[in-house]
Amino acid sequence: MQDLWADHGKQLEKNLRLNEALLRRLNLDKAVDEFREVLAVSVHGRNMAFIYFLTSSGLAFFMKSEPDFSITVFLGGLCMLGSFVYHLKNTRKFTQLNVYDTPVLALQKAINGFKISSISAGKYDFGIVAVWLATIIPAMLKLAVQKDIYESPLHAGLYFLAVILFILLLYPFNLRMYQRIYGEKLSKAAGLLDEVSQFEH
C-alpha cells in the first residue's frame, strides 16, 4: 500500500512538472506573439519611411526647375531618411534576436528597452510625418492642378496655419496610439514573461 501511494505521488509530481512546463511554454508563446506583433508594426513603419524618402527624392528631381518645391520636398525626404536609419538600428537587433534561445530576464530587458525607445521616438516620428506632409502637399498640388500656394503670402500663411492646427489636434492621438501599441502590448508581453520566470525558480 505504501509503495502504491509512493508511485501515485511520483506520478502527481510528474504531472505537475509537465503542466508547469506546458504553462510556461504557453505564456512564452503569448509573450513572443505580442512582441513580434509590435515589432512588425515598427518594421512596417520603418520601411514606409524609406519609401517616402524615395518618393520625395523622385519628386524633387522631377521638379528641379522649381527650387521652391524641389528643395523643400527633398528636405522633407531627408527627414524620412533619418527616421528610417534610426528605426533600422532600433529594429534590426530585435528582428535578429532568437527569442526562444534567449534567457527570460534578458528577453524582458530587451522588450522593455524596445518599449522605452519606441515610445520616446513617437513624438519625433509624428513631427517627421508632419514635416513630410507639409512639404509634399504643395508640390502635389502644383503638379495636379497647377496651384502654387507659395505665390500668395495669404495662401501660404493659411496653409501653414492649417498644418499647425493639424499637429495640435492629432498630437494627443499620436501619443495615445504609441502608448497603446508599444506601451500596453509590450507591458503585457513583459508581464507574461514574469509568469514564465516564476516557474524557473
Place of cell 500668395: 152
Q: Please state the domain extents for the chain.
A: 2-199
- Identify the CA nearest to 64 among candidates 148, 139, 145: 139
Cell of 33: 506573439
Contacts with 60 (C-beta within 8 Å, 6 or more apart), sequence order: 69, 70, 71, 73, 74, 77
Stronger pLDDT, 15 or 35, i.e. the higher one? 35
Contacts with 64 (C-beta within 8 Å, 6 or more apart), sequence order: 70
Cell of 198: 516564476
Asked if residues 73 and 60 have their Cβ atoms less than 8 Å apart, the reply is: yes
Asked if residues 149 and 155 have their Cβ atoms less than 8 Å apart, the reply is: yes
Q: What is the pLDDT of residue 171?
A: 82
Cell of 182: 508599444
Cα separation, 127 vs 148, in Å, equals 24
Cell of 136: 509634399
User: Mean pLDDT, to the nearest integer, of 90-95?
Assistant: 79
Q: What is the pLDDT of residue 78?
A: 95
Asked if residues 189 and 35 have their Cβ atoms less than 8 Å apart, the reply is: yes
**pTM for the full model?**
0.74
User: Mean pLDDT, to the nearest integer, of 67-88?
Assistant: 92
Stronger pLDDT, 138 or 189, i.e. the higher one? 138
Q: Phi, psi (5° rounding) for residue 123?
A: -70, -35
Q: What is the pLDDT of residue 25?
A: 54
Neighbours of 86 (CB within 10 A): 17
Stronger pLDDT, 111 or 28, i.e. the higher one? 111
